[in-house]
Structure 1
Amino acid sequence: MRDWRYWLAEQRGTLIAVAIFIAMFIIYISNHQAGLTANVVNTAANKGTLLALVAMAQALVVITAGIDLSVGTIFVLTNCVASYVITGNPFETAAGVALVLLVGLLCGAINGAIVIYGRLQPIVATIGSGAVFFGVALMLRPLPGGTVNETLADAMTGRIFGFMPASLLMLAAIVAVIWVPFRRSVIGRAAYAAGSSEAAAYMSGVPIRRGKFAAYVLAGLLAGIGGLFLTFFTYSGQASTSSASTYTLFSIAAVVLGGVSLYGGKGSAVGAIFGAFAFRTIGDLMFVFDLDALWQPLFQGVILLLAVSFGAIGLLQVRNRLEWFR
């Protein structure tokens, strides 16, 4: 019984995000003109997956008690790169995919090196690196354009067996291949320990530098996968300031809605995924109810503020920091 209660307490944030998503999705479907159809579900899944990938990237850094303000620009940069290289025969397309993922890894490694070895605050470091990443994206795609392997793009954004969104299966595979091994590894536990108490983790001999560096590298990879999927979704690339800023801010809201503590050391990428789907569905409700476009940024800002405030409530209820990680 105690194990069950411990699991429930540990997964509380994720379960709340799941409940919010289900409630919002039911309202969305109930008021959508087409109702519950395969096309509506597939479109919602594709849009949710875009934010979920960036939110997973943000969650890895937040777990280490940092914050990455460059995830949106890595997302945009890899989208621009992909719009050039994801084309041609299957071998050329596979090489292009590998190059895009390598760019994401490199961006994450740069962030990790600056934060860990340069000893700069994550916010300051990622603001600077994000500006550089966006500058490169702007050089690559000053105007929207590009091509993509349509067969691969349609396969990744389409449906399997006529009803199952391929994007959800891709997301599940990413969780199984990237998140689960990281979470269960020594490096993953070191990242959590660094977020809980970096000084205590260091005194205990935990490899906190490797843990934090791995978190930043994987964050870059996940943001790169998000940029790749955006290329599949739009068939083009664009150095968009609004997309970079929007996905960065929304990723922060998603991780908080998913139960990831902004103080570090608590939460999971799975929670961030459901937080992303919940936040995206809330946004879709504005269109279903025909909310004036002028009010939409205000409404999204209120949701972001409430999400961050909600994430801080739990910390106010503890007497000391150690209780937060029980």
Structure 2
Amino acid sequence: MTDWRYRFAEHRGTLVAFAIFVLMFVIYVANHPAGFTANVVTTAANKGVLLALVAMAQTLVVLTAGIDLSVGSIFILTNCLASSLVAGGPAQAGLGIAAVLAAGLVCGMVNGLIVIYGRLQPIVATIATGAVYFGIALWLRPVPGGADDFNSDIADALTGQLPGGVPASLVALAAVVLVVWVPFRRSVIGRAVYATGSSELAAYMSGVPIRPAKFAAYALSGLLAGIGGLYLTFFTYSGEASAANGATYTLYSIAAVVLGGVSLFGGVGSAVGAIFGAFAFRTIGDLLFVFDLDPLWQPLFQGVVLLLAVSLGAARLFQVRNRLDLFG
């Protein structure tokens, strides 16, 4: 296989997700009453970034052949925490932001420790921890609200528009990819995560550091979900312990991961693909808006798009001549 064919096969899921998103977004802006304007792009970007961050968090765990059902709860917990801590002057708000990110990181670390040393299935362990995290969020914010001196200047700077009409949230998302995902993907631990997800037994026999790889994946997953919760606070200036929002973002993150070409069997995919999958998934609701369709149709359209994405990802099964090739 030539180099370009290998690279195409490696990034096929990401490219498909990108193509789906571009097609849907072009249709959206072409039919939007305001057209392709900075405000329209910023609004769409802000909604997409929230799901993209949670989808990135889910991707790290899925790459290890697990599923994290607590990402939505971490997302909600850090939102409630940020609504109280991101307040006061720049220095105090900065310390609050650091505390919120640390809380997300700790939640992910707890998940990793339970899965690794408790030897529980990830889906079972994260259901339990997710309930705990949501309980803490509900204790912090029994009713929706925010701090009276919430620092809206920082929030506006990170969710508004940069010179030229560029959405600040997209720049922040790109920074997260460059600072968190790219170094992780190229590190020894990152490669170990892919090896573990592909075949944990083979990885163990090859001397791959399985436990550190899983721990790093869950820890960074919590951190990314915490960044998502922080951004939700930036958008709303408040926190809300909403079980519905937590469950929705958890399920949508799994859908975005699949749409982005990440295999639920582990070891295949990229957080960048999950980002495009998240933006494509969010654009479905925008399309319903511009075509003035009943919002009740949204789950149907989301299901159809997701089914098509899964079908494209499984197309290689029709090329298999030997059943052993499925495990190669």
Q: TM-score by structure 2 length?
A: 0.95
The answer to whether the 8 A contact 2:61-2:217 is kept is yes
Q: How does 1:213-252 map to 2 (within 5 A)?
A: 213-252=215-254
Kept in 1: contact 2:258–2:306 (CA 8 A): no
Name the counterpart of 1:120: 120
- Is contact 2:56-2:275 (8 Å) kept? yes
* Cα pair 1:315 1:324 within 8 Å, conserved: no
**Structure 1 position 203 matched with structure 2 position 205:** yes
SS at match of 1:224: helix
Q: Does the residue aligned with 1:95 lie in a helix, a strand or coil?
A: helix
Matched residue of 2:34: which SS?
coil
CA distance in structure 2 between the aligned counterparts of 1:260 and 1:90, rounded to whole angstroms: 39
SS in 2 for 1:176: helix
State the partner residue of 1:134.
134
The whole-number CA distance in structure 1 between the counterparts of 2:299 and 2:20 is: 21
CA separation in 2, counterparts of 1:43 and 1:229?
14
CA-to-aligned-CA distance 1:105-128 (integer Å, 9 cap, x gap)? 011011111111111011111111
How many Å separate the matches in 2 of 1:212 and 1:45?
Answer: 31
Q: 1:310 to 1:250 in 2, by over 3 A?
A: farther
CA shift for structure 1 position 315 = 5.1
- Taking a change above 3 Å as real, the CA distance of residues 47 and 35 of structure 1, as seen in their structure-2 partners, is same
Tell me the amino acid that sits aligned with residue 99 of structure 1.
A
**1:258 aligned partner:** 260
What is the rounded CA distance, in whole Å, between the counterparts of 2:122 and 2:274 in structure 1? 20
1:281 aligns with 2:283: yes
Supply the distance in 2 between the matched residues of 1:286 and 1:213 (Cα, whole angstroms): 40
Correspondence for 2:6? 6
Tell me, in whole angstroms, the C-alpha distance in 2 between the residues paired with 1:289 and 1:117.
Answer: 51
Matches within 5 A, 1:103-118: 103-118=103-118
Q: What residue is the counterpart of 2:40 in the other structure? A: 40
C-alpha offsets along residues 139-172 of structure 1, whole Å, 9 cap, x if unaligned? 1112110033110000000011041111111111
Identity %: 72
For residues 225 and 315 of structure 1, do their structure 2 counterparts lie closer, same or farther at Cα, with a shift above 3 Å needed? farther
| Letter aligned with residue 192 of structure 2 | A
Q: Which moved more, 1:241-250 or 1:306-315?
A: 306-315
TM-score by length of 1: 0.95
Contact 1:105–1:220, Cα closer than 8 Å, also in 2: yes
In structure 2, the partner of 1:158 is 160
Aligned CA RMSD, in angstroms, stands at: 1.7
Measure how far apart 1:3 and its partner are.
1.1
The runs of 5 or more residues in structure 1 that have no matched partner are none
Unaligned runs of 5+ in 2: none
Aligned equivalents of 2:324, 2:252: Cα separation in 1: 27
